Amino acid sequence: MSESQSHSAAAGENPEGRKPGSQNLVSQRPESQKLEGWNRPARTEPEADGQLLEVSMGPHHPSTHGVFRMDVALDGERVIRLRPVFGYLHRNHEKLGEGQSYLSSMPYTDRLDYFCSLSNNWAYALAVEKLAGQQVPERAEYLRVILAELTRFQNHASSIGFLIQEMGASGTPLMYAFREREKILDLFEELTGARMMCNYMRFGGCRVDASPAWLEKARARVAALPGFVDEFERLLATNEILMARCQGVGILRPELAVNAGVTGPMLRASGVGYDIRKVDGYGIYNRFSFRVPLGEHGDVYDRFMVRLLEMRESVKILEQALKEIPAGPVMDPRLKLRNFRPKPGEAYGRIEAPKGELGFYLISDGGPNPYRYRVRPPSLINLTILEDMCLGHSVADVVLISGSVDIVLGEVDR
Amino acid sequence: MKTVEQIKAAIEAAVAGAGVEVVPNPSPSGQHSLRIEPGRAVEVARFLRDDAELALDFLSNVTGVDWLDREIEETVTETRTVTRMVDGVEQAVEETVEETRQRIEPGFLEAVYHLYSVAKKHGPVVLRMRTVNRTDQVELPSLTPIWRSAEFQEREVFDLYGIIFTGHPDLRRLLMWPGFKDHPMRRDYVEPDDFEYEPTAHDRVLERALAHQAASEAASTAAGEKASEPAEAAEQQGTEADA
């Protein structure tokens, strides 16, 4: 423990008199400078020997979870500038959405955040339902909740796995997470026909009904999940190295987090209680009892813990939903899907996706295609404060901080 | 949560000359929006964020919309005075004419902002701003100084729609590469002809292949004619010199 403690303590009593990393953060500056204007510190004067090292991290760096680049300027090993560079996976998803019918966009939404295709389906379906004023049958609402929470569970498990892998624990925790993820993907495959590109929900309901056998299987799998969370937590949460590497790193203050539009587990790790499942109560979320875990420090460790605790809450929701799910149709057969032309108007629908607020903004001009189809990507907007979190830290911590944001490039670049 | 009319009244009481206009939304979503004058947008945004009752501290979504020029046909009934021969005498007569006129409503680019309140847990409030036209007057004030979350999203709107956000601290392209010229999300954007043959030719691929072939043949013949002209001229000169 003494080794690992000294790692975090060393910054505080730096013999050269340099401030510890976190005190150089924008978020640590006085309140008056925080929200107004462009509040980045001057970061062009190197301290040590007058030399700057510019490093291009990515686009094929394994820690970027895809093709994402960070232009980093280093003074020694201290980051004094970080510029994210996007667009390597850009295929103009929004333009594609404007060129095809409302129904045809549904499978494309799977490709946004390809870890959580069912959440994307739901957000899009919700926006179209708002636009056209459609009602969703009871059973379909329950199925949506079940699938969205299973998605959240597997996303959080694997994102924690990736985070720990970036810390150097190559393999084991990630494989534990993937073992569980496989079981959930098997459930998806059995119900929707695909493991990742599910294309399951439709505006006004769901595509196919779940059989009683599937529900039984889901109940059995969900009953085993708390055991996995316990195992995962026992394995990781009190690990010395993990605590030494994560605590006090990448601190994000709540005021800056809200102002920068950060959502999801990142926002809640900074101590802001804002969960769209509670705030909007979309679908039938206000029927379930669950809690919203909050962090205190807003560092990488809190983000990790918030995700872990959210997995437990997801299991709670799953248990309730699988118990209460009623019989009935999953889709109103009179609804038109193919020649679907909503009346002119616009709607913004949003859900609490595993990565944050996923929203779809649609404008209809009465035609078969949306006039405007916009995706509000949580991954991209959560990266707005990446530089503020990384300033003053070392390169190894940048890897960790960007891992704790939990991005998927299919959604960042669209 | 206040209605849009109440918010409009609150803004107008706080910011003089804000020029707020309610844009109704006929869809069942009922998300009506407020159109604000770009000139006072920053003050209005600061008021919305700092007002104790509204407290719209969270800017969720920023996006652009491209509205093309629209041809509007309208029937106009007009009464005018005409001089006409009545019973052999020239008189001024009132005449009512019904005419169908075509009017072109100029297009514009629009930036749309969706605001929520984390503190009060309400929303959305939708703000819109319009540019003067689609071509040369496309500046709008940036709201990044008020809400940091607009930073990347305004860059994206600039990249894909070409709205120039004045006051944005770092307005560069976000998704397209720096040397790219056009704005691909505009409705009249034409994709460049970078056709590549695909072995699995679908109908659309074949169509594009034929169009591409025709265009490249036309280009090569035009180039060939140009290239052959000087050669012919030289030949003629040569024969003249021989003679």
The per-residue b/e assignment along B75-87, b for 16 or more CB within 10 angstroms, e otherwise, is eeeeeeeeeeeee
Crossing angle of helices A138-166 and A117-132, rounded to 10°: 140
Which conformational region is residue A349 in: left (phi greater than 0), alpha (psi within -120 to 50 degrees), or beta? beta
Alpha helix (H) residue ranges in B41-85: 41-50
Residue A48 is predicted with a pLDDT of 55
pLDDT at B203 over 60: yes
Residues of B within an 8 Å Cβ radius of A: 25-29, 31, 57-61, 63, 65, 112, 114, 118, 121, 124, 126, 144-145, 147-153, 160, 169, 173-177, 184-185
Rg of chain A (C-alpha set):
22
Exposure on the CB side of residue A54, measured as CA atoms within 13 A: 4
Cβ contacts of B29 on chain A, cutoff 8 Å: 130-131, 133, 345-349
Residues linked to residue B68 through DSSP beta bridges, in sequence order: none
Question: Which two three-digit tokens encode residue A263?
Answer: 């959502």
pLDDT class of A353 with cuts at 50, 70, 90: very high
Structure tokens at A123: 């957000």
Buried b (16+ CB within 10 A) or exposed e, A13-44: eeeeeeebbbebbbbbbeeeebbeeebeeebe
For the sheet containing B122-130, what is the strand order?
B21-23, B33-35, B122-130, B108-117, B58-67
Mean pLDDT of chain B: 83
Q: What percent of chain B has pLDDT above 90?
A: 14
- How far apart CA A178 and CA A173 sit, in angstroms, is 9
Q: Name chain B contacts of A346, Cβ cutoff 8 Å.
A: 25, 27, 29, 31
- Res A314 pLDDT > 80: yes
Q: Dihedral angle at the C-alpha atoms of A24, A29, A35, A36, nearest 10 degrees? A: -100
Q: Cα(A336)–Cα(B10) distance, rounded to whole angstroms?
A: 42
Contact B148, A258 (CB under 8 A): no
Gap from B221 CA to chain A (nearest CA, Å)? 35
Do A87 and B176 count as a contact with CB atoms less than 8 A apart? yes
> What residue type is assigned to position A136 of the chain?
V
Of B26, B151, B176, the CB nearest to A343: B26
pLDDT for residue B126: 92
Residue from B98, B44, B40, B100 nearest B71 by CA: B100
User: Where does A207-344 show beta strands of DSSP type E?
Assistant: none
- Give the residues across from B100 on adjacent strands: B75
Q: Collect all residues of chain A within an 8 Å Cβ-Cβ radius of residue B121.
A: 274, 279
Measured in whole angstroms, the distance separating CA B134 from the mean position of its chain's CA atoms is: 5
Residue B50 pLDDT > 90: no
Q: Is B52 helix (H, G, I), strand (E, B) or coil?
A: coil
Residue A126: pLDDT band by 50, 70, 90 thresholds?
A: very high
Average pLDDT score over residue span A173-197: 91
Question: For the residues B138-160, what does the mean pLDDT come to?
Answer: 90
User: What would the pLDDT profile of B56-114 be if each residue is shown by its tens digit?
Assistant: 989 999 999 999 888 888 788 888 778 777 777 887 878 788 878 888 888 899 999 99
Integer Cα distance of B141 and A353 in angstroms: 31
Q: What is the mean pLDDT of residues A51-70?
A: 81
Q: Which residues of A touch B153 (CB under 8 A)?
A: 380-381
8 Å CB contact of B118 and A272: yes
| Amino acid of residue A228 | F
Kindly compute the dihedral angle of the four CA atoms of residues A348, A351, A357, A361, in this order, to the nearest 10 degrees: -20
- Is the distance from CB of A154 to CB of A408 less than 8 angstroms? no
Strand runs labelled E in A122-228? 201-202, 205-206
3-state class of B94 per DSSP? Answer: strand
Q: Which residue type, as a one-letter code, is found at position A33?
A: Q
Which of B101, B82, B65 is CA-nearest to residue B183?
Answer: B65
| Cα–Cα distances in angstroms (integers) from residue A120 to residues A69, A229, A297, B243, in the given order | 25, 25, 30, 82
Residue indicated by tokens 């964020």: B49
Average pLDDT over residues A11-27: 38
Which residue in A90, A259, A343 is closest to B175 by CB distance? A90
Give the pLDDT confidence of A187-236 residue by residue, as tens digits.
999 999 998 999 999 888 898 999 999 999 999 999 999 999 988 888 88
CA B15 to mean position of chain CA atoms: 27
Contact A259 B57 (CB under 8 A): yes
Torsion angle of C-alpha atoms B231, B232, B234, B239, degrees rounded to 10: 140
Phi-psi label, residue A282: left if phi above 0, alpha if psi -120 to 50, beta otherwise:
beta
pLDDT at B198: 67
**pLDDT over threshold 50, residue A19:** no
Q: Are B175 and A86 an interchain contact pair (Cβ–Cβ within 8 Å)?
A: yes
pLDDT of residue A182: 92
CB contact under 8 A, A133 and B152: no
Token pair belonging to B208: 């594009």
ipTM, 2 decimals? 0.81
Asked if B169 contacts A38 with a C-beta cutoff of 8 angstroms, the reply is yes
pLDDT band at A50 (very low <50, low <70, confident <90, very high): low
The CA-CA-CA angle for residues B130, B55, A261, to 5°, reads 70
What is residue A62's DSSP assignment? G
Which of A95, A262, A371 is facing B185, going by the closest CB pair? A95
Is A38 a residue whose pLDDT tops 60? Answer: no
Q: Does the pLDDT at position A127 exceed 80?
A: yes
- Given a cut of 60, is residue A4 above it in pLDDT? no
Q: How far apart are CA A355 and CA A379, in angstroms?
A: 7
Give the chain B residue whose CA is nearest to the CA of A37: B145
Q: Is residue A390 left, alpha or beta, with left meaning phi > 0 and alpha meaning psi from -120 to 50? A: alpha
Quote the percentage of chain B above a pLDDT of 70: 90
* CA-derived radius of gyration, chain B: 29
Cα–Cα dist A362/B29, whole Å: 11
Structure confidence at residue A238 (pLDDT): 81
Lowest mean pLDDT, pick from A110-124, A250-264, B92-106? B92-106
Residue range A123-133: average pLDDT? Answer: 91
Query: Which range (A49-58, B126-135, B215-224) has the least confidence?
Result: A49-58
Residue A348 has pLDDT above 70, yes or no: yes
Mean pLDDT along residues A273-292: 89
Architecture of the structural domain at B4-68+108-166: 2-Layer Sandwich (3.30)
Q: Is the pLDDT of residue A14 over 70?
A: no
pLDDT at residue A373, as a whole number: 93
Tokens standing for A174? 């990630």
Give the count of Cβ contacts less than 8 A between chain A and B.
Answer: 119
> Can you give the pLDDT at residue B51?
86
The pLDDT score that the predictor gives to residue A53 is 81
- What residues in A contact B126, CB-CB < 8 Å? 348
Q: How near does any CA of chain A get to the CA of B30, in Å?
A: 8
pLDDT score for A56:
87
Which residue from B27, B29, B152 is facing A384, i.e. has the nearest CB? B152
